Structures are given as C-alpha cells and as structure tokens.
Amino acid sequence: MWCTEQGIDLTDSSKVFDRVTLLVAISGLLVMASILVLVVRGTSVAEADVSGAVAEVQLTEFSISGDLKVPEGPVVLSVSNAGTIVHNLALVDGPRTPDLNAGEQARLDLGEMEAGEYQIICAVPGHESSGMSATLIVGDAAAAAPHTAHSASEYAAMDMAMTESILAFPASTEGSGNQLLEPNVLPDGTMQFEITIAISPWEVEAGRFVEAWTYNGQVPGPAMRVDDGDRVEVTFHNELPMGTDVHFHGVRLENQMDGVAPLTQPLIEPGDSFTYSFVAVGPAVSMYHAHHHGQLQVPNGLFGTIVIGDTPLPIGRVIGGIEVPEDLEVVTEFPMVLNDAGVIGYSLNGKSFPATEPLAVALDDWFVVHYYNEGLQIHPMHLHGFPQLVFSKDGYPLDEPYWVDTLNVAPGERYSILVHADAPGAWVWHCHILNHVEREDGMFGMVTAVIVEP
C-alpha cells in the first residue's frame, strides 16, 4: 500500500532495489549516529548493556557523592553532573569520562577491579583541590561504615588543621610576581621591554613547587606601566617547548599586533622572538597573556598586567552618602591577579594561602586595587571591614561609581576599586566561593588580608 501511495511501480525491480538500498543505507546511518552520540556522551554501545549493578555517582560544586562502595568484579559508574558548571570523573591513573555539562550523564567502565580503595577525582583544573576527590571502595571494604560523617576526633583534627593553616599566614616562599619591569628608553623615546617565556620552577605555597609557564620567571609576569601616548615595544623570546603568542587584553592597538597566530602574526616558534609595537592609548588597566593554546598556557602561568596612564579617581564627590575627599592621597596601587586552574590553581598573584601577600597600610590611608581575572571561573571578591568603591570597569572610568563589600569578577574582567582603611586590624580578603578558600585540611587558595596599622 505504501509503495502504491508513493507512486512506486512494483513491477520495476530496479526501482524497488534502489529504494530498498536507500532505506538500508539510511538505517545504517541512523545506527552509526546513535553509536556516535553514545560515544560522545562517554557511553559506548557495549557499555549501554551492562550486566550486574551500576553504581550511581553525582558531581556537584564541589563534591563527589553517591554509591562509592561496590563489589569486586566489573565496575561501572553511572556519572551525573548535578552541578551548574562543567565537571568530569576520572580514576587516578585510569580512565575518565568526557567533560559533562550541567545535567549530562555518562558511564565510566573501570573494568575488572580487585578489592581495595581507589581515588576518583574531577580532572577539570582546580576542581580536585576544591573538594572533588573521593574514595571508591571495592570489595570486602565496601561493607564498612559510611565515611560521610566524621567522628568527634576527626572534627577536632579538622579544627586544628584550619587553625594551624591560618596561623601560618603569611608564609614565606621563593619568587614574587608582578615585579615592575623598567623599560629601556630608546633615543626616540620608545619604551622597550624584553621578556623571556619559559617553563620555570615556581613555589605556589610553602614547599610546593610546580613547573610553571612564566614570563621572566614570574607568576604573574612582570608588570609594565607606560604613559598615554608612549610608543611601546615588547619583545618576547620563546624558550617553551611549543609555539606561543601574546595578546594584549584591553589594549587598543593595530590588528597586526593583536597576538592571535596565525591570523595576525606568525606563531612564535621555540627559539624564536617576536616584537609587539604600538602607541599606548590610555587610561587602560589591561592584561597580557598567551592566546595560542590559552587553555594550557594561561592557567599554567602565562599572564601579566599592563597599566597605561592614570585612571581618574572620583574625588571630591559624595557617593552613596559617603564623601570621597578631594585632597586624598593614594598610598599604593595593588594589582590582584586571580587564577583557579592549571599548575598554579586557586591563587592570588600566583600564590596560594598562606603564601599570599598581605597588603599593609596605615590607619586612614586610601589605596587602589586593580582586580584581574585570568582564571576560568567567576570570583566574588569580599573584603572584610571596608566597603570597596568601584570606579573603573575594564579600565574605563565609571560615570556612576558604586560601593560594594563583595565584587564579582568574571574571567577576562578588570575592576578598579578605592578603599579607605579607617579601622585598625588584620582584615581578611578572599573569594567568597568558599570551596576556593577552605577545605578539610585548612585554609588555602584565594585568601589574603589587609593589615591596617594604628
């Protein structure tokens, strides 16, 4: 009947054969598409038909929970991302799921497993250190009591660890980032800078060294400061094992200096150098960082700051009922570069608490902070004790400055704030996503303090 309705002549065997062949081909493509969907989502056709029990595991910000006790033999984990950002699940030194968006699922086939304890983590940079690590118990140990609750002695140990970590602040480490790089002033007035890109040892926190990707051996790289109208030349020498480029994020320049290989320049190959040349247009509170394989090079340390001219302050005004004196003097401009991934991890200016640098000022001082987010996540920066007057966004002065106690800084953004230190004490300053600053073994990551001397 269908053939008649579609106008197919059943007496024409060649036409019937062609239509059957077409239908078979379409069916084959649909089957292949189904297989590809399953593979892309981390589940193969074979995995979709699993004999025996499947353990259910949930991923959230920032924990791994669910059925983490399984019998010996073939182990398959059904992994769900119940969080709001991308996560994955990996067996340390073993297989892993693909990255899962919020609401997505995948199965992780771990194969035949013997009795024992195995570590599973989220392998997205920075997530393990924020708490996404758990123990998968296989075999006889699976009958043991749950580990989700802590005993009184374990809680006491957690209290002690937190106290000891805080009392260790500020911890001394090798190396400091954001060191001001003085230019070589050429006869025509050009400000010339030289920067070497290399992999260097970097002490993120006391005793923990990583192989960081650095500009002049620093994380963040050296700070550059020039005036509006200066002609600037920055030469980068590449000693990395791979190519790179440099994008001046937030700096107005000509397209061929934009730092996106191969569109605006050749890749800076290992052993080669490249000079960026532009006339500085200010005011600007900007960054420089790698663009080529930025997902690898930037989180591992290839970022720095560049400031052009002076961003005007909203002095002599009453904002939100608070007077900003016309004769105030800024005692310091403090760059705070935020990171949350790569070998550097959750950090402020390349260091993790308690190795972060405190800002020391005197009572009644006014100071400026420039926030730069070079990470992959948002960071609401909260300063205890003092309101923050936001007067510039991405280097552009705001017509209507505003006061906050917590300022959300997204990846790529820069904010400039003015603070009046009108109360003595050691005032904590941190990202308010609490997993970015605290874990069971104490305080870490994106925490520092403003110390106001009376």
Q: Are residues 254 and 275 in the same domain?
A: yes
DSSP one-letter code for 256: G
Taking the CA atoms of 197, 274, 410 and 391 in sequence, report the sign of the dihedral they define. Answer: positive
State the average pLDDT over residues 158-167: 95
Over 60: is that where the pLDDT of 280 sits? yes
Q: Are residues 205 and 264 in the same domain?
A: yes
DSSP one-letter code for 94: S
pLDDT score of 230: 97
- Do the domain assignments include residue 349? yes
State the average pLDDT over residues 217-222: 98
Q: How far apart are CA 424 and CA 451, in angstroms?
A: 8
pLDDT score of 13: 43
Taking the chain, what is the end-to-end CA distance rounded to the nearest angstrom? 95
Q: Are residues 356 and 246 in the same domain?
A: no
DSSP one-letter code for 206: T
Q: How far apart are CA 302 and CA 220, in angstroms?
A: 7
Q: Are residues 338 and 305 in the same domain?
A: no
Q: Are residues 305 and 358 in the same domain?
A: no
Q: Are residues 201 and 303 in the same domain?
A: yes
Contact criterion met (CB below 8 Å) for 277 and 308:
no
Which CATH number fits the domain that encloses residue 138?
Answer: 2.60.40.420
- Do the domain assignments include residue 239? yes
Q: Are residues 334 and 449 in the same domain?
A: yes
Range of the domain at 348: 312-454
The mean pLDDT value of the chain amounts to 88
- Chain segment 319-360, per-residue pLDDT in tens: 999 999 999 999 999 999 999 999 999 999 999 999 999 999
Structurally, the chain folds into a number of domains equal to 4
Strands 317-319 and 231-238: unpaired
Query: Where does the pLDDT of residue 2 fall: very low under 50, low under 70, confident under 90, or very high at 90 and above?
Result: very low
Q: Are residues 112 and 22 in the same domain?
A: no
Q: Are residues 297 and 189 in the same domain?
A: yes
The structure tokens listed for 182 are 């003085």
Q: Are residues 132 and 270 in the same domain?
A: no
- Do the domain assignments include residue 68? yes
Q: Are residues 60 and 18 in the same domain?
A: no
pLDDT score of 53: 65
Q: What does each C-alpha distance from 433 to 61, 164, 385, 395 come to in angstroms?
A: 10, 21, 18, 25
